[in-house]
Chains A and B, each alone.
Chain A
């Protein structure tokens, strides 16, 4: 029943819910909810008996609810519908618990229902392995509340029983998950709105440096078949084509496109599965030209992939890409537009353009120019005024965005259409190369220029720091710069680093097999099962017979073991009666002593043995001398022999 320990359990569930759903809250609402939870504590630990404890009246609850809901509607509209719903439901649950009367089962039923729903909402916000495990633990805690609410008031959780039940509950549960038909999304639901991460709409000198400081995961990829070389791992995410003298922006002019008709040689085709972390933006990551894309993704003429809604949870996609240069779109004027200024750079561009015969040659000249005295650093000096001029002719130190920006400027000034691509370069091969892990640290910017109607890639950073391609950033930076990146203490220690890596691997396979389980995989699984069954049909009858025997023997063995155990645990009086049953049956109203007396009358020849058994029995049962037990067993055996003797 709904006693105090149960209420404490429910309170703990709500506390855990508030913590797990904290992402959906803003600071002030989190504070208010925490206060409401605290208000329950005096009720829980009040010394008064259950029925006398003061609970919140309905009026008080309603007034609080009205106030908080009004505040939420006024100040939290930016949070989105999903967050608002979570706020409402948790508020209702907390207020219901505050006004909980111990005899009201209807209240408990509703609370239980809402808790189950809120736990499901936690799964929208948190999907990593650790969080999901926490969530499932919370689900079990809620289940225990559910059980206790319908059990007798002083009952405990039957944990042994529950463990036995879980032996077939878990296969049933997972079987349902694996086999039950899955649907594609029926309609759009409000999504969780949080600050976006990753590459933004604007590329400033410095924006990539900020990204690189983050150790966060961006996405992970598993390739079917051959792994591409390091020089091909340019993950395209965004294209910046408008320059205002300071920062590069992306124009929104990209039309939807399809490259499915493109003929690509198999050697240049890659198929891979990408598990993207939620970054609250629409853009995705791909190599080269995406050929086959899932139906819920959009592909544009820039060769970029995007989702219909900002990515708010870890999602996986199957993609196929061709490692070919992208065909140019018809309108190219925007790729030549430049703001006024930067005269020195323009002069350099004119000079290089005179020397070069083709865009490709021009790019090579730019590369040569960059190899003279330029420095690759995470902490370049601040640029003011004519930024490109200042960078190329004064500071000569910068990060990838500086080089990309300057190269693109020179190309445009020399009359070659060009643009900046933002994305990620490389990544870290994990678990013996089974998958590639790309972090924000791998963020990169490079240039695409037009030649022969095709967009060619040019990475100016490689001219300055050729090792960038084959080594991680950590290996390239100076010790001071490295220290700046490694804010995380856990990464400095070797053992904890290894542990972290293993946990990351685990988390990846969790995403791949559990979060990424979809209709295709289900089909695969069913096909495999079918093949198995077919193979089974072709099998030898002898093998089948063995299998059948085995499946029959195992339960029989188990049953025998069960019987044996039961027998062992049988109470002494029952055991004794069973032993003597062939000779005389004890009437239920008789005591054992009376029964022995009756037995002695029936079998006078066994009087001595009967009194011996009687004596041991009395000592065992009433004096609790457990050491007598073997003696009793022996005497009982003798008694049975004596009873069999003829008179």
Chain B
């Protein structure tokens, strides 16, 4: 009737919940946790303490003992207090995420979550997929890791932020969705019959220094100079002694596993060529990227590969 079988009510429920959440909290670049996004519910321990409260109420009633009743109400108060305290532990926390670096398939994406904390917060648990991180004291930034299992262009999934502080009786949580996309490029891997194009080309030689551009490999930064001039990082540029070859990388029209293998191969070649600062072009079944060099060109090629 609903396009469901009876084995799937849980999944159906979850789906509805995500839909509801998408309406309630669409992706935002910065998110201040407010009452609108925060959920509060007793933990199982909270319920067991509620059981104790009932037990004490019965005990106090049957013994006509006001002191036991007082203790029972004390624990009720503790439960109510926990609701407010755990809510306050999250409420007002502002989350934002810095640009996630692109990664290759099979690596972990590191997502840096920026937190601004007007008050002291404790024991906050961040969960992203299977990764979880408990912060006893809240730092300014939190590094979350997400495994990149398949290539593509993704929106950062909802993070689960929760806390049971201070008494473990009540959990306050939310699923913030932050506006941030990230690329998972194909895994760079040469095909088995691959021979490096410049296997006998000899070593790369240092040629000159040039200003750092985003995307330059970090190991080429001139660290000594950086210490002297922190505002102006420079990179060492190596040039190949061999005359520059112009290469056209071609992706044949494939599907399935063969496509993935070809993509991995092309990816590996692009990395090598761009490291050697050789111009290259990329011919895809539906797209042609002209000759070029530099990080922008590399990025364009890798993104085009990713979306194949």
Please report A residues at the B interface, Cβ cutoff 8 Å: 105, 109, 113, 116-117, 119-120, 123-124, 127, 132, 135, 139, 143, 146-147, 149-153, 155, 165, 169, 172-173, 176-177, 180, 182-189, 191, 313, 315, 514-518
Contacts and interface: CB of A to CB of B under 8 A. Distances in A.
Contacts of B60: 120
B45 interface: yes
Nearest to B164: A150
Query: What 6 pairs between A and B have smallest CB-CB spacing?
Result: A152-B136, A123-B67, A176-B73, A150-B168, A173-B77, A185-B62
B70 interface: yes
B38 interface: no
A313 B73 CA distance: 21
Contacts of B80: 172
Contact of A124 (B49, B52, B63): B63
A180 B76 CA distance: 12
Contact of A139 (B45, B74, B122, B123): B74
B55 interface: yes
Nearest to A116: B52
Nearest to A296: B64
Contacts of A191: 63
B71 interface: yes
Contact of A155 (B45, B85, B136, B167): B136
A132 B168 CA distance: 27
Given A150-B168, A185-B64, A313-B63, 18 more contacts: A117-B56, A120-B60, A120-B72, A127-B67, A139-B71, A147-B166, A150-B164, A151-B165, A155-B122, A172-B77, A173-B73, A177-B66, A177-B70, A177-B73, A185-B62, A514-B66, A515-B65, A516-B66
Contact of A120 (B71, B76, B123, B137): B71
A123 B68 contact: yes
A143 B58 CA distance: 22
Interface of B: 45, 48-49, 52, 55-56, 58-78, 80-81, 85, 122-123, 136-137, 164-168
A517 B66 contact: yes
24 contacts: A109-B48, A113-B48, A113-B52, A116-B49, A117-B56, A120-B71, A123-B65, A123-B68, A124-B63, A132-B67, A146-B168, A147-B166, A150-B123, A150-B166, A151-B122, A173-B77, A176-B77, A177-B66, A177-B73, A182-B69, A183-B61, A185-B63, A313-B65, A517-B66
Contacts of A185: 61-64
Contact of A515 (B67, B77, B137, B165): B67
Contacts, number: 106
A615 B187 CA distance: 56
Contacts of A514: 66-67, 70
Contacts of A116: 49, 52, 71, 75
A10 to B, nearest CB: 15
Contacts of A517: 66
A630 B47 CA distance: 56
Contacts of A313: 63, 65
Please indicate which of the listed interface residues B66, B73, B164 has the most CB atoms of chain A within 10 Å of its own CB: B66
B87 to A, nearest CB: 14
Nearest to A168: B81
A147 B154 CA distance: 41
Contacts of A155: 122, 136
A149 B123 CA distance: 12
Please indicate which of the listed interface residues A120, A150, A172 has the most CB atoms of chain B within 10 Å of its own CB: A120
A183 B54 CA distance: 13
B70 to A, nearest CB: 6
A182 B78 CA distance: 20
Nearest to A150: B168
Contacts of B64: 185, 315, 518
A176 B76 contact: yes
B182 to A, nearest CB: 25
Nearest to A315: B64
Contacts of A143: 78
B137 A152 contact: yes
B122 A124 contact: no
Contact of A153 (B74, B85, B136): B136
Contacts of B76: 176
B62 A149 contact: no
A182 B136 contact: no
Contacts of B85: 165
Contacts of A173: 70, 73-74, 77
A186 B59 CA distance: 10
A634 B173 CA distance: 48
A307 B78 CA distance: 36
B47 to A, nearest CB: 11
Contacts of B52: 113, 116-117
Contacts of A150: 123, 164-168
A109 B44 CA distance: 11
